[in-house]
Amino acid sequence: MKSVKLVFLFVSVLLVSCATEDEKMQRYLIGNWETIYAKIDLPTYNGKDDLFEYDIDFANPHDPRAKQQGKPLTTFKADGTFVTWSEIYNRSTGQMSTGKWRATKDSLYFIYQQGAGKKDITIPLGLKEIEDGYATTRLLDQDRDGKVDDLIYLETVRLPDTKK
Number of C-beta neighbours around residue 134 at 10 A: 21
Produce one character per residue of 103-118: b if its CB has 16 or more CB atoms within 10 Å, e if not.
beeeebebebeeeeee
12 falls within a domain: no
How many domains are there within the chain?
1
pLDDT in tens, the chain (164 residues): 555 554 444 544 444 457 799 999 999 999 999 999 999 998 887 767 777 788 999 999 899 988 888 899 999 999 999 999 999 888 888 789 999 999 999 999 999 887 767 788 999 999 999 999 999 999 998 888 888 889 999 999 999 876 65
108 falls within a domain: yes
Could you say which DSSP state residue 63 is in? Answer: -
The overall longest dimension of the chain from CA atoms, in Å, is 76
Global pTM value: 0.81
Q: How far apart are CA 27 and CA 32, in angstroms?
A: 12
Q: What is the residue range of 90's domain?
A: 20-158
60 falls within a domain: yes
6 falls within a domain: no
Indicate which CATH number applies to the domain containing 63: 2.40.128
164 falls within a domain: no
71 falls within a domain: yes
Nearest to 97 by CA among 115, 117, 116, 82: 82
Strands 91-103 and 52-57: unpaired
66 falls within a domain: yes
Q: Where are the alpha helices (DSSP H) in 18-153?
A: 21-29, 64-69
13 falls within a domain: no
